[in-house]
């Protein structure tokens, strides 16, 4: 029977702990050497304040502020038991508990919080497919692992300096049995595009115990066939008859392309000129990012040069692209200079943008609808084509099929109010309709 009071007291302690004790914070992450204040409160005065940090229990006295761990709070009479830990130690990682005995009675209230003493993880590891290069459209997946941190590190993905948000998988956090060190891993997947070529995929790890982020990275190499930057034939504007002419075409390719110009029956593979040196094909100039400038130089632009079409073929291991190039001595149209991705259509030399085209289509539709309505109204005698289909001034008993009596044209100088007839419309001329005489 002696065990029953003890069990009752333990249950009471649990109830008091759950309902009355407030501990702040309930969890904290600190580096070695940082400070931390833990405060436990109950709504009644307490007799003492004891704190267990690591494996050592400390009795904290409000007036003693000289130790490594000192009292914090407004006083025991206010039910506050707090500890200010001036310098966190590695071995203090774990639980910190406070014990608050009341002034009367024997039930002690105990509260616990979790202290994580931050431990820096190992360097991040980036795991990716072993091949040095990929092709446009290939699926690519990489994994970043940051081992043995306390708590787990945070992983962020970048493509050069732009943070990746799409294709990021949920992180997975694991730990070895019996260890509180955490290993985090995260995958990223992506369909490779020409824009990815030459960019650096970066896994960046951040942690409370690190002074700055750590990174693991790999350079992406993406191969793709030659690509044109604009569709259709290319026109080079602003050339002068008698002056030098440069036909510049910008393309995109990886690996580097080979080029071939065809001028009439002449085929030029750079670097090469025709026999008299009047036409020279230059080697493609790499502008960076897979862009190349392909140039054909005419020593002197003649009239026949403006009238012919020049053909350019660009080839690499993955494919080829062909261009038709024309010359013009006119200045480049302003609308063509500001052309971006919107639609522009040339109609007899006039360039129409998307808004103008839509407006013209709507106007034509409105005109067609109006014509249809007019034809319909005239055919059915509706609306403004409506005429009188029967007489309303026939006396009772008269034959409704009888012909109308003769009438004279109404002159503009006559006053129609003096005529006892009624006006009816017959085309554009109005005539008074005489009512038949009625016998007395």
Q: What Å distances lie between residue 231 and 201, 247, 256, 416, CA to CA?
A: 32, 17, 21, 73
Residue 389 DSSP SS3: coil
Average pLDDT estimate for 367-378: 84
Instruction: For residue 88, name the pLDDT band (cuts at 50, 70, 90).
Output: very high
347 cis-preceded (ω within 30 degrees of 0): no
Q: What φ, ψ does residue 90 adopt, rounded to 5°?
A: -60, -40
Instruction: Note the pLDDT of residue 359.
Output: 80
Residues 3 and 403: their CA atoms lie apart, in Å, by 129
Q: Is 13's pLDDT higher than 50?
A: no
Q: Is 200's pLDDT higher than 50?
A: yes
Q: Is 395's pLDDT higher than 60?
A: no
Instruction: For residue 261, name the pLDDT band (cuts at 50, 70, 90).
Output: very high
| Domain stop point among 71, 94, 117 | 117
Q: Is 397's pLDDT higher than 50?
A: no
**Are residues 231 and 320 both part of a single domain?**
yes
| Domain stop point among 296, 315, 332 | 332
Q: What is the pLDDT of residues 121-137, one digit of tens each?
A: 999 999 999 999 999 99
This prediction has a pTM of: 0.65
Of 95-99, 167-171, 300-304, 337-341, least confident by mean pLDDT is 337-341
Residues 120 and 331: their CA atoms lie apart, in Å, by 64
Domain of 174, in residue numbers: 125-220
Say how many CA atoms lie within 13 Å of 181 toward its Cβ: 12
Q: DSSP string of 305-356?
A: HHHS-EEEEEEETTEEEEEEEEE-SSPPPHHHHT--SS-EEEETTEEEEHHH
Please report whether residue 193 resides in a domain. yes
Beta pairing partners, 285: 293
Q: DSSP string of 183-245?
A: EEEEEEEEE--GGGTT-EEEEEEE-TT-SS-EEEEEE--EEEEEEESS-S-EEE----TTS-E
Angle at 49 between CA 45 and CA 50, to 5 degrees: 150
**Are residues 148 and 110 both part of a single domain?**
no
Q: Is 388's pLDDT higher than 60?
A: no
**Are residues 211 and 270 both part of a single domain?**
no
Please give, one letter per residue, the 3-state secondary structure of 23-63. EECCEEEECCCCCEEEEEECCCCECCCEEEECCEEEECCCC
255 cis-preceded (ω within 30 degrees of 0): yes
**Are residues 136 and 212 both part of a single domain?**
yes
Residue pair 116/149 in contact by the 8 Å Cβ criterion:
no
**Are residues 286 and 315 both part of a single domain?**
yes
**Are residues 23 and 70 both part of a single domain?**
yes
Average pLDDT estimate for 415-440: 42
Please report whether residue 111 resides in a domain. yes
Q: What φ, ψ does residue 295 adopt, rounded to 5°?
A: -130, 135
Average pLDDT estimate for 320-328: 93
Nearest to 157 by CA among 193, 214, 202: 202
Tell which phi-psi region holds residue 337, choosing left (phi > 0), alpha (psi between -120 and 50) or beta. Answer: alpha
Q: Is 99's pLDDT higher than 60?
A: yes
Residues 185 and 230: their CA atoms lie apart, in Å, by 43
| Domain stop point among 332, 362, 380 | 332
Of residues 346 and 23, which shows the higher confidence score?
Answer: 23
Helix (H) or strand (E) holding 358: helix 354-380
Residues 40 and 83: their CA atoms lie apart, in Å, by 9
Q: Identify each DSSP E strand in 245-309 by its residue range.
A: 245-254, 258-263, 266-268, 272-273, 279-281, 285-288, 291-298
Please report whether residue 419 resides in a domain. no
**Are residues 136 and 64 both part of a single domain?**
no
Residues 393 and 264: their CA atoms lie apart, in Å, by 88
Instruction: Note the pLDDT of residue 384.
Output: 64
Instruction: For residue 372, name the pLDDT band (cuts at 50, 70, 90).
Output: confident
Instruction: For residue 231, name the pLDDT band (cuts at 50, 70, 90).
Output: confident
Q: How many helices (H) and strands (E) would you count in the chain? A: 4, 33
Instruction: Note the pLDDT of residue 14.
Output: 40
**Are residues 202 and 142 both part of a single domain?**
yes
Average pLDDT estimate for 352-371: 80
Please report whether residue 352 resides in a domain. no
Q: Is 239's pLDDT higher than 90?
A: no
**Are residues 26 and 53 both part of a single domain?**
yes
Nearest to 249 by CA among 166, 322, 141, 182: 322
Please report whether residue 429 resides in a domain. no
Residue pair 56/77 in contact by the 8 Å Cβ criterion:
no
Number of domains in the chain: 3
Instruction: Return the CATH number at 174.
Output: 2.60.40.10
**Are residues 197 and 241 both part of a single domain?**
no
User: How many residues in the chain?
Assistant: 440
Cross-sheet strand order for the sheet of 162-163? 162-163, 154-159, 200-206, 214-219
**Are residues 146 and 205 both part of a single domain?**
yes
Q: What is the pLDDT of residues 40-59, one digit of tens each?
A: 999 999 999 999 999 999 99
Average pLDDT estimate for 286-303: 93
Q: Is 432's pLDDT higher than 50?
A: no
Please report whether residue 283 resides in a domain. yes
Of residues 323 and 359, which shows the higher confidence score?
Answer: 323
Q: Could you give the dihedral angle defined by the CA atoms of residues 231, 237, 242 and 246, in that order, rounded to the nearest 10 degrees?
A: -50
Please report whether residue 94 resides in a domain. yes
Mean pLDDT of the chain: 82
DSSP for residue 93: -
**Are residues 97 and 179 both part of a single domain?**
no
Instruction: Note the pLDDT of residue 342.
Output: 39
Q: Is 429's pLDDT higher than 50?
A: no
Nearest to 434 by CA among 419, 415, 413, 414: 419
Please report whether residue 403 resides in a domain. no
CB neighbour list of residue 399: distance below 8 Å, 6 or more residues apart: none
């Amino acid at each position: 029977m002696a065990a029953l009071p003890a069990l009752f007291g333990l249950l009471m302690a649990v109830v008091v702990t759950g309902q009355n004790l407030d501990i702040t914070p309930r969890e904290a992450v600190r580096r070695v050497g940082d400070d931390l204040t833990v405060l436990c409160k109950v709504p009644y005065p307490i007799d003492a304040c004891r704190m267990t940090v690591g494996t050592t229990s400390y009795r904290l006295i409000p007036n003693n502020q000289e130790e490594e761990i000192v009292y914090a709070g407004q006083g025991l009479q206010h039910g506050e038991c707090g500890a200010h830990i001036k310098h966190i130690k590695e071995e203090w990682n774990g639980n910190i508990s406070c014990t608050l005995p009341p002034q009367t009675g024997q039930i002690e209230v105990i509260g616990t919080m979790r202290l994580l003493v931050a431990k820096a993880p190992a360097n991040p590891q980036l795991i990716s497919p072993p091949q040095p290069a990929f092709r446009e459209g290939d699926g690519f997946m990489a994994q970043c692992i940051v081992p043995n941190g306390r708590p787990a590190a945070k992983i962020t993905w970048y493509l050069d300096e732009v943070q990746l948000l799409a294709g990021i998988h949920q992180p997975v956090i694991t730990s070895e049995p019996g260890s509180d060190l955490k290993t985090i891993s995260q995958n990223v997947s992506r369909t490779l595009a020409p824009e990815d070529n030459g960019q650096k995929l970066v896994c960046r790890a951040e942690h409370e115990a690190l002074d700055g982020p750590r990174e693991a990275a790999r350079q992406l190499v993406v191969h793709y066939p030659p690509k044109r930057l604009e569709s259709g034939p290319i026109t080079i504007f602003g050339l002068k008859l008698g002056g030098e002419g440069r036909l510049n075409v910008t393309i995109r390719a990886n690996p580097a392309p080979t080029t071939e110009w065809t001028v009439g029956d002449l085929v030029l593979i750079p670097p090469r000129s025709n026999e008299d040196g009047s036409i020279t094909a230059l080697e493609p100039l790499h502008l960076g990012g897979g862009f190349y400038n392909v140039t054909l130089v005419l020593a002197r632009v003649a009239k026949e040069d403006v009238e012919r079409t020049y053909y350019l073929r660009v080839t690499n291991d993955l494919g080829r692209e062909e261009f038709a190039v024309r010359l013009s001595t006119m200045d480049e149209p302003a609308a063509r200079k500001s052309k971006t991705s919107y639609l522009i259509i040339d109609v007899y030399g006039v360039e129409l943008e998307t808004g103008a085209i839509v407006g013209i289509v709507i106007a034509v539709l409105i005109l067609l609808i109006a014509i249809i309505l007019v034809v319909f109204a005239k055919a059915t005698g509706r609306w403004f084509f409506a005429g009188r289909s029967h007489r309303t001034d026939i006396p009772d008993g008269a034959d409704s099929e009888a012909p109308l009596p003769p009438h004279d044209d109404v002159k503009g100088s006559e006053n129609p109010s003096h005529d006892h007839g009624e006006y009816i419309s017959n085309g554009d001329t109005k005539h008074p309709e005489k009512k038949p005489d009625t016998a007395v």
